[in-house]
Amino acid sequence: MSGMMIVSFMVFSGSFAVATAVILTSIAPQWSRIVSLAAGNVEPAFAPLQTLARAERRIAVRRWSSTGMPQPSQRWNAAA
C-alpha cells in the first residue's frame, strides 16, 4: 500500500512541478505588462492595418520623391 502512495505522490508532484514551470515560463515575459494592467494603466489599441497603411504610404512617397522628372526628349526617345 505504501509503495502505491509513493508512486502516486511522485506522479502528482512531478506533474505539479511541470505545470508550475509552464505557467511561470508563459507569465514571466509578460510580467511587467500584467503589473501595469493591474495598476490600471490602459494599453493603446493594437491597430496593425493602420500601421501597415502608414508604412506603405511612406514607402510610396519615398519612391515617388526619389524618381526625377523625365526630360521631354528622353520621354520621346523612350516611346520610339
d(CA 6, CA 11): 9
pLDDT score of 23 more than 70: yes
Residues 27 and 34: beta-carbon distance below 8 Å: yes
d(CA 30, CA 8): 34
Q: What is the DSSP letter of 45?
A: P
Can you tell me the mean pLDDT for 9-26? 95
pLDDT in tens, 52-73: 888 888 887 777 666 666 565 5
Radius of gyration from C-alpha coordinates of the chain: 31
Can you tell me the mean pLDDT for 13-26? 95
pLDDT at 67: 66
Which residue is associated with the grid cell 505539479?
16
Lookup: cell for 69: 522628372
pLDDT score of 76 more than 60: no
Predicted TM-score (pTM) above 0.75 = no
